[in-house]
Structure 1
């Protein structure tokens, strides 16, 4: 059975990995998952811009015109034997129609203020989330420091779409956005994804949001999956909460059974 270990127990479910265009995928990701004991993963296009440029845009804002290889992600997931679930990485400026036409082939949506330089109240963002609502897709967003794309702006967007599940990627972009956790705590349709954040932030995410609103992710290939598994282990969660964070919550959000 896909996603279980030799005893029949569910393996960790990575809610956030990326696929870089090229012939090595999905084999390289699947091999990394096997080494770490991860059963399944939600994946999105990566490699849209160099890391130096991404870092600059995280700090100062900006926009890339590079198109995400969403079709490549879909095709790679189709070759994965059910282990990889594709997310559509949408540019709100030009991808609204394309996402609307192809949403049925994907399992979620990613919107990135850092990559595409948008505000979360932009018309294109609202149109994309409206499509996600119709498709039953969760929406993954990493907030940044620019006006219109902060944690409070994600709260406002989530309040406008109370039936959509939003996922706050990396618990913000700094690794230590505990103020953002406080901002999001009262908005129940926003969950926090842990990849890249500090252990103290991950621990506060569970304490402030509850384990049912926290998701394990790796940000592969920028992070080794084993590092993120060690972080969850360091939280010393009770077994029920650990199971929720490592997979049960992801399966619930994505409509997947253990």
Structure 2
């Protein structure tokens, strides 16, 4: 098992009975100390898979209430992020931002491009509250990694997290696009081991964070990706722990 401590920067919590207990059990089994939690279950997986290929969107609200309630009883072990619906006014996020630690925006789910004024309003609220912004990009006009770079340049005070190793599992091009953007870090779930290795080499260990995308991927699988890389302990510490705490505005622990 990869050395502890580990903060998983991306897990999901669906609004189903026992989901919180199952998450904590999986974390215990995998040796995860903490996790950033975003709402899951916003869209049926079959529909999501079709949207990824054909386009489309839903206007469904994520269950941020369940995320907040589940995280509240864990003494900081679970860290809640607000999954925004850009089809709603940004005031909803602003009114609750103090309860959460970060923001997620997903064109894959809600279908709104990253340069859309509604998305930029949400990022503006994140800037007010010092929240990092987790983004899932797509190979689609307005939702690509280059579009994320554009937003990051307009909001240099905001830290962005590019989810799932970019687009697909071998997105070396994403590494090139974000290389000179210091306020974008890469979260590594989904990508091949070669992409994780290249991210550490090209971006530096200080701009990479570990994530699993639990429950769609078991944390042990993503941990194994780094275990075979045999990174120096100081680099793994950055990726697994220090960088995440910096993004959350916490002192390194």
TM-score, normalised to structure 2, is: 0.96
CA distance in 2 between partners of 1:163 and 1:238 (Å)? 30
Once the two structures are TM-superposed, the CA of residue 156 in structure 1 deviates from its matched residue by 0.5
Aligned counterpart for 1:50 among listed residues 10, 30, 44:
44
The aligned counterpart of 2:172 is 178
After TM superposition, the structure 1 = structure 2 runs for residues 85-234 of structure 1, keeping only pairs within 5 Å, are: 85-234=79-228
Q: What is the distance in 1 between the residues matched to 2:32 and 2:89?
A: 31
Q: Which deviates further from its counterpart, 228-237 or 105-114?
A: 228-237
User: 2:5·2:237 contact (CA, 8 Å) conserved in 1?
Assistant: no
Secondary structure at 1:132 match in 2: helix
Secondary structure of the 1:26 match is: helix
Question: Is 1:245 paired with 2:239?
Answer: yes
1:15 aligns to 2:9 (yes or no): yes
Q: Do the aligned partners of residues 223 and 49 (structure 1) sit closer, same or farther apart at CA in structure 2, a change above 3 Å counting?
A: same
Residue 82 of structure 1: aligned partner: 76
Secondary structure, counterpart of 1:174 in structure 2? coil
| Inter-partner Cα distance in structure 1 for 2:100 and 2:183 | 20
Unaligned runs of 5+ in 1: 1-8
CA RMSD of aligned residues (A): 1.1
User: How many angstroms does 1:91 deviate by?
Assistant: 1.1
Moved more, 231-240 or 205-214: 231-240
Q: Moved runs in structure 1, 4+ residues, more than 2 A?
A: none
Structure 1-normalised TM-score? 0.94
**Distance in 1, Cα, partners of 2:197 & 2:49:** 26
- Report how many residues are paired: 250
Structure 1 contact 58–144 (Cα < 8 Å) conserved:
yes
Distance 1:11 1:67 in 2: 33
Name stretches of at least 5 consecutive residues in structure 2 with no aligned partner.
none
Distance between the aligned counterparts of 1:81 and 1:122, measured in 2?
Answer: 37
SS of 2:36's equivalent in the other structure is strand
- Give distance in 2, aligned partners of 1:156 and 1:27: 39
